[in-house]
């Protein structure tokens, strides 16, 4: 007999994770399931930031959300990448841009040919060969052009968004409620389990009302009300590799046009983010409490804002890591309830989106086939751990003198990452899994940006004659420069792009 389909879904939490899940499930499941979301105004949401990665476009496409409408509704701006200031050593700066670097020449990726030219003193820094890294510091932005040759870098521009997470959650709430999602306001005080299976049967609100379901999606934030408090799933703590454990966040007045990039500036005991929105600028200091007090961190943050602060800094505590299982019995954890890798590469919202996509692909019946659950957990663990290593890379490769940074430079790191650092130093090569989120250009830009210059290149690069290699490198640089020159200023693009939506 075919096991019954799920009928009732309860989403616990109405932050970014909860409303993203509600909107996507409502869109995909339609009326096949009854979807309810419970959230507590008293407890509130994290809602800082937010900066994203390009994948969010796919999520919005799934919901059929118009980009111009989305940018207007969330006070959004566009993002070509992240500028890292002082991360390798004080005073240096590089951009980790989305998208590719250079173009194809022979059998090897572009950066291999670039290494040869650069070591011979005949190439500029790698940033001159990627549209995003060249355009971002110049404040230029546009979405892909349709009236250029398909081989032009302007034909396929990789970009993401900065937006107000609170406004995004509100937008998704309207979207989900319009598609039948029911919302309950109230604080959950108790979680009931089936004594035999250990499955969650219902949650009980402070007013005594019980909400039952077949599947529970835990989006309750750091605490993990169901996945941890009720099911004791366990947590893999990554703080020996990612030691920052606090953040202070404060918005400030907008001063000047929004930059088309997130800024991350190294500080004595961590780093400071700057996220430009249309109406204000988001800021925060992510730090290790073992190396700086909260008061000192607040003073550092406030001393480095471009505009007047719009409130007092808000303190957030966290432990970097992830749940031992993301899906346990009939509970799937998303967002902060599933784990937290600090916001260095803006990956949290991506991980929510990816969790929703995996859940829909592995959607269970009422028998909760354990193979589906194991698959979900294995894929999620892989994804978290690969992003974790990419983040550790930033900390490991530093040449700063402060105790926090020295500790990061000498910490033990996962063996696969250590091998990649050694291999890149040897010949610009490294190994990455095909399915991992950060693509080859990201690894190259961060390794070079953090000051790890290879001493040699792939031997097959020598198959290309010297003169051809030089002409190719010079040509790519010229193409990128002319494309950047053709791009409009970011602020002008937003004004035009969003105005067009208002008229539509
Ligand atoms: P929350 O926002 O904490 O929401 C939890 C929900 O659960 C709330 O609705 C709350 O009311 C409800 N709840 C909890 N307990 C109960 C209860 N007992 N009863 C009823 N309801 C309850 N991500 C990015 O992608 N980019 C960034 O730039 C970025 N920056 C970040 C910076 C910092 C410092 C931090 C901490 C996070 C950052 N993130 C970023 C992560 C991002 O903020 C979160 O992933 C995202 O907001 C999702 O949060 P959430 O919905 O999981 O949890």
50 labelled binding-site residue: no
What percent of the chain clears pLDDT 90, i.e. is strictly above it?
95
Mean pLDDT rounded to a whole number for the chain: 96
Q: Is 221 in the pocket of ligand 1 (CB under 6 A)?
A: yes
248 Cα to the center of ligand 1, angstroms: 15
Q: What is 449-467 written as a DSSP string? A: HTT---SS--GGGGGS-HH
79 labelled binding-site residue: yes
Q: Is 220 in the pocket of ligand 1 (CB under 6 A)?
A: yes
Residue 504: pLDDT band by 50, 70, 90 thresholds? very low
Which of 163, 186, 348, 384 gets mutated to test ligand 1 (max ligand atoms within 8 A of its CB)? 348
Residues whose CB falls within 8 Å of the CB of residue 392, separated by 6 or more in sequence, listed in order: 241, 242, 413, 414, 417
What percent of the chain clears pLDDT 70, i.e. is strictly above it?
99
46 Cα to the center of ligand 1, angstroms: 4
70 Cα to the center of ligand 1, angstroms: 20
Largest CA distance in the chain: 78
Q: Is 22 in the pocket of ligand 1 (CB under 6 A)?
A: no
Sign of the C-alpha dihedral computed for residues 288, 289, 294 and 300 taken in this order: negative
> How large is the average pLDDT for residues 296-314?
97
45 vs 247: CA distance, rounded Å:
15
51 vs 62: CA distance, rounded Å:
20
15 labelled binding-site residue: yes
> How large is the average pLDDT for residues 57-74?
96
470, 120 contact by CB (below 8 A): no
The residue ranges of every structural domain in the chain are 8-50+164-236+320-386, 96-162+414-490, 246-317
Model pLDDT for residues 465-479, shown as the tens digit of each residue: 999 999 999 999 999
355 Cα to the center of ligand 1, angstroms: 15
Residues whose CB falls within 8 Å of the CB of residue 465, separated by 6 or more in sequence, listed in order: none
Given this model, what pLDDT does residue 49 score?
65
Q: Residue 221 above 50 pLDDT? A: yes
* Strands 160-162 vs 77-79: parallel, antiparallel or unpaired: antiparallel
The atom of ligand 1 lying closest to the CA of 349 is 25
Q: Is 245 in the pocket of ligand 1 (CB under 6 A)?
A: no
Does the interface predicted TM-score (ipTM) exceed 0.90? yes
Of the candidates 7, 23, 11, the one whose C-alpha atom is nearest the C-alpha of residue 216 is 11
Q: Residue 501 above 70 pLDDT? A: no
Of the candidates 68, 92, 73, the one whose C-alpha atom is nearest the C-alpha of residue 398 is 92
Nearest CA to ligand 1 atom 11: 40
Rounded to 10 deg, the angle between the 348-361 and 370-396 helix axes is: 160
Given this model, what pLDDT does residue 142 score?
97
Model pLDDT for residues 325-364, shown as the tens digit of each residue: 999 999 999 999 999 999 999 999 999 999 999 999 999 9
148, 155 contact by CB (below 8 A): yes
Q: Is 336 in the pocket of ligand 1 (CB under 6 A)?
A: yes
221 labelled binding-site residue: no
Model pLDDT for residues 2-46, shown as the tens digit of each residue: 999 999 999 999 999 999 999 999 999 998 999 999 999 999 898
What separation, in Å, do the N-terminal and C-terminal C-alpha atoms of the chain show? 52
Model pLDDT for residues 374-421, shown as the tens digit of each residue: 999 999 999 999 999 999 999 999 999 999 999 999 999 999 999 999
3-state secondary structure of 202: strand
Nearest CA to ligand 1 atom 32: 343
228 labelled binding-site residue: no
Q: Give the 3-state DSSP-derived string for 29-58, with helices as H, strands as E and coil as C.
A: HCCCCEEEEEECCCCCCCCCCCECCCCHHH
- The DSSP bridge partners found for residue 38 are 12, 184
15 Cα to the center of ligand 1, angstroms: 5
Which of 36, 43, 263 gets mutated to test ligand 1 (max ligand atoms within 8 A of its CB)? 43
Q: Is 277 in the pocket of ligand 1 (CB under 6 A)?
A: no
403 vs 405: CA distance, rounded Å:
6
The atom of ligand 1 lying closest to the CA of 41 is 11
3-state secondary structure of 80: coil
83 vs 318: CA distance, rounded Å:
24
Burial track 39-60 (b if 16+ CB lie within 10 A, e otherwise): bbeeeebbbbbbbbbbbbbebb
Q: Residue 500 above 60 pLDDT? A: no
The atom of ligand 1 lying closest to the CA of 13 is 7
221 Cα to the center of ligand 1, angstroms: 5
Structurally, at CATH architecture level, domain 8-50+164-236+320-386 sits in 3-Layer(bba) Sandwich (3.50)
Residues whose CB falls within 8 Å of the CB of residue 372, separated by 6 or more in sequence, listed in order: 362, 364
Q: Is 247 in the pocket of ligand 1 (CB under 6 A)?
A: yes
Model pLDDT for residues 132-163, shown as the tens digit of each residue: 999 999 999 999 998 999 999 999 999 999 99
Residue 358 known to be catalytic:
no
**Structure tokens belonging to residue 124:** 């500029």
Q: Is 17 in the pocket of ligand 1 (CB under 6 A)?
A: yes
Model pLDDT for residues 87-106, shown as the tens digit of each residue: 999 999 999 999 999 998 98
Nearest CA to ligand 1 atom 14: 220
Sign of the C-alpha dihedral computed for residues 301, 164, 184 and 61 taken in this order: negative
Q: Residue 502 above 50 pLDDT? A: no
Which of 176, 343, 356 gets mutated to test ligand 1 (max ligand atoms within 8 A of its CB)? 343
Count CA atoms closer than 13 A to 330's CA, side-chain side: 25
356 labelled binding-site residue: no
384, 438 contact by CB (below 8 A): no
Given this model, what pLDDT does residue 503 score?
45
Catalytic pick among 57, 79, 325, 358: 79
14 labelled binding-site residue: yes
> How large is the average pLDDT for residues 101-124?
96
The backbone torsions φ and ψ at residue 398, rounded to the nearest 5 degrees and listed phi first, read -135, 155
215, 9 contact by CB (below 8 A): yes
Q: Give the 3-state DSSP-derived string for 209-277, with helices as H, strands as E and coil as C.
A: CEEECCEEEECCCCCCHHHHHHCCCCEEECCCCCCCCEEEEEEEECCCCCCCCEEEEEECCEEEEEEEC
Q: Is 314 in the pocket of ligand 1 (CB under 6 A)?
A: no
18 Cα to the center of ligand 1, angstroms: 9
Tell me the Cα Rg of the chain: 23
Of the candidates 217, 254, 226, 141, the one whose C-alpha atom is nearest the C-alpha of residue 487 is 141
311 labelled binding-site residue: no
3-state secondary structure of 140: strand
297 Cα to the center of ligand 1, angstroms: 22
């Amino acid at each position: 007999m075919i096991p019954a389909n799920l009928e009732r879904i309860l989403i616990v939490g109405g932050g970014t994770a909860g409303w993203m899940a509600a909107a996507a499930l409502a869109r995909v499941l339609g009326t096949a399931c009854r979807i309810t979301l419970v959230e507590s105004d008293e407890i509130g949401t994290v809602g800082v930031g937010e900066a994203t990665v390009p994948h969010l476009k796919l999520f919005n496409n799934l919901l059929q959300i118009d980009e111009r409408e989305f940018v207007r509704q969330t006070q959004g701006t566009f993002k070509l990448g992240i500028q890292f200031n002082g991360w390798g050593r004080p005073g240096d700066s590089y951009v980790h841009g989305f998208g590719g670097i250079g173009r194809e020449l022979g059998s090897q990726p572009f950066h291999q040919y670039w290494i040869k030219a650069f070591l011979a003193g005949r190439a500029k820094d790698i940033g001159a060969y990627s549209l995003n890294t060249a355009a971002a510091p110049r404040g230029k932005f546009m979405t892909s052009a349709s009236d250029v040759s398909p081989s032009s870098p302007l034909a396929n521009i990789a970009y993401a968004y900065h937006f107000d997470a609170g406004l995004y959650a509100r937008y998704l709430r309207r979207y989900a409620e319009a598609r039948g999602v029911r919302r309950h306001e109230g604080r959950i005080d108790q979680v009931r389990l089936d004594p035999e299976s250990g499955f969650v049967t219902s949650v009980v609100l402070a007013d005594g009302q019980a909400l039952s379901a077949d599947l529970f999606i835990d989006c309750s934030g750091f605490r993990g009300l169901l996945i941890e408090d009720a099911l004791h799933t366990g947590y893999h703590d990554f703080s020996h590799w990612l030691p920052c454990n606090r953040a202070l966040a404060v918005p400030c007045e907008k001063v000047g046009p929004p930059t088309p990039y997130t800024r991350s500036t190294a500080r004595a005991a961590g780093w400071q983010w700057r996220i430009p929105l249309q109406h204000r600028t988001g800021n925060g200091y992510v730090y290790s409490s073992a190396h700086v007090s909260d008061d000192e961190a607040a003073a550092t943050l406030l001393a480095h804002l471009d505009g007047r602060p719009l409130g007092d800094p808000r303190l957030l505590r966290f432990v970097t890591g992830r749940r031992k299982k993301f899906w346990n019995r009939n509970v799937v954890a998303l967002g902060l309830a599933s784990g937290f890798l600090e916001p260095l590469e803006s990956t949290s919202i991506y991980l929510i989106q990816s969790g929703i996509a995996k859940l829909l692909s592995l959607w269970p019946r009422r028998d909760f086939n354990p193979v589906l659950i194991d698959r979900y957990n294995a894929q999620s663990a892989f994804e978290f751990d690969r992003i974790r290593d990419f983040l550790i890379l930033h900390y490991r490769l530093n040449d700063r003198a402060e105790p926090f940074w020295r500790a990061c430079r000498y910490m033990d790191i996962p063996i696969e990452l250590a091998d990649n650092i050694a291999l890149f130093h040897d010949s610009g090569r490294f190994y990455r899994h095909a399915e991992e989120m950060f693509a080859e250009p990201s690894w190259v830009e961060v390794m070079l940006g953090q000051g790890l210059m290879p001493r040699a290149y792939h031997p097959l690069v020598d198959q290309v004659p010297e003169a051809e290699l030089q002409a190719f490198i010079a040509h790519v640089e010229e193409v990128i420069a002319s494309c950047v020159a053709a791009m409009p200023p970011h602020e002008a693009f937003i004004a035009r792009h969003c105005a067009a939506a208002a008229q539509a």
